[in-house]
């Protein structure tokens, strides 16, 4: 990611470093007063003063423990991003109901677009496909 690639509304997909993690992470960039920040929602974020887990972190600090896997642009302006993040700033993290993808989806109004699949995701997809194919074959063979 080059500085020229960074603008308000850039969605970044990262993974934690240096250790291997089963999870990818997503955040959305805003630029304020010449500084680049990332809004994210993470179970490790401290509870903010509103009781929620959304955090705004300088990009350079955010990337100390993460590696960017991919990013994409949206057409969102900073006012929209801040307004939408403020609307849900009091919500605490939940793996099922309010995670990093939920935050990005709420702010952008769309599902996260990804090209990269984590090795665990590939394994789960392969096992799911295998189970589906096996159950279809097994069901058909019982008829």
> Mind listing the pLDDT tens digit of every residue in the chain (143 residues)?
555 678 999 999 888 776 666 678 899 999 999 999 999 998 888 899 999 999 999 999 999 988 888 899 999 999 999 999 999 999 999 988 999 999 999 999 988 876 655 555 555 556 666 776 667 666 555 55
Which DSSP category does 45 fall into?
Answer: S
Predicted confidence at residue 85, as pLDDT, reads 95
The 3-state DSSP class for residue 141 equals helix
The pTM is what? 0.75
Task: Give the length of the chain.
Answer: 143
- Can you tell me the distance from the alpha carbon of 71 to that of 11, in angstroms, rounded to the nearest whole number? 5
Q: Is the peptide bond before 131 cis (omega within 30 degrees of 0)?
A: no
- Can you tell me the distance from the alpha carbon of 80 to that of 117, in angstroms, rounded to the nearest whole number? 29
């Amino acid at each position: 990611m080059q500085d020229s690639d960074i603008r308000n509304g850039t969605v970044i997909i990262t993974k934690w470093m240096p250790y291997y993690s089963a999870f990818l992470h997503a955040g959305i960039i805003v630029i304020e007063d010449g500084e680049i920040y990332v809004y994210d929602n993470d179970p490790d974020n401290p509870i903010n003063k509103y009781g929620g887990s959304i955090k705004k972190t300088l990009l350079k600090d955010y990337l100390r423990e993460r590696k960017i896997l991919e990013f994409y642009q949206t057409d969102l302006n900073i006012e929209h991003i801040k307004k939408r993040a403020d609307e849900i700033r009091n919500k605490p993290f939940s793996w099922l109901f309010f995670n990093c993808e939920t935050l990005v989806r709420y702010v952008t109004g769309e599902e996260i677009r990804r090209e990269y699949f984590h090795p665990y995701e590939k394994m789960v997809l392969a096992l799911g496909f295998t189970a589906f194919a096996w159950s279809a074959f097994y069901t058909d063979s019982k008829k």
